[in-house]
Amino acid sequence: MMYGRQAAFLSAGGYHHHIGLNTWHSEGMPEAPLEGVGLYHTAIAYPTRHDLALILKRLIEAEYPLTGASDHGVSEAIYLNDPDGNGVELYWDKPKAEWPMEADGSLDRILGYGLKYSDSFGNTHLGKICKKDVV
């Protein structure tokens, strides 16, 4: 649901909103510096590699510009910018049996954080690790 150019609310399943975006404090302000702290990109997870491939096919057919792609060891990702220039990552997590874990159960080889495998792994940016990122 949009409220003019000032706010947008995203929801699913009848809930009033799961995500709220607004420009109330940023309208007319200069853009953030490239090296500044802020949103790196929004990541959207797809349940399977096939689902990610379907969206990639649609992007290619629409000639939508991609900014990159990567195999992160634990996931495969496609990168693009939305029409406003915000970064978007579309990805799927590989089956945990395919993750490149060390013998002690860590993901050090690809992350270097000394993290141990448990239940799931997500994106970490700006040096912050949230409970949702490593559960």
Q: Is residue 76 part of a domain?
A: yes
How far is residue 33 CA from its own chain's centroid?
21
Q: Give the predicted TM-score (pTM) of the model.
A: 0.59
Same domain, 83 and 23: yes
Direct distance between the N- and C-terminal alpha carbons of the chain, in angstroms, rounded to an integer = 32
> What is the per-residue pLDDT for 31?
72
Same domain, 10 and 70: yes
Same domain, 14 and 79: yes
Band (pLDDT 50/70/90 cuts) for residue 97 is: confident
pLDDT tens by residue, 19-50:
676 666 677 777 767 777 667 778 888 889 99
Same domain, 69 and 113: no
pLDDT tens by residue, 4-16:
667 767 666 676 6
Same domain, 89 and 129: no
- Please state, in angstroms and rounded to a whole number, the distance separating the CA atoms of residues 94 and 74: 5
Structure tokens at 80: 């693009």
> What is the per-residue pLDDT for 44?
86
Band (pLDDT 50/70/90 cuts) for residue 76 is: very high
Q: How many domains does the chain have?
A: 2
Domain that holds residue 94: 2-27+41-99
Pairing of strands 42-45, 66-71: unpaired
Same domain, 58 and 14: yes
Q: What stretch of H or E contains 129?
A: none
pLDDT tens by residue, 100-133:
877 776 665 555 555 555 544 444 343 333 334 4
Contact 51, 92 (CB under 8 A): yes
- Please state, in angstroms and rounded to a whole number, the distance separating the CA atoms of residues 48 and 17: 26
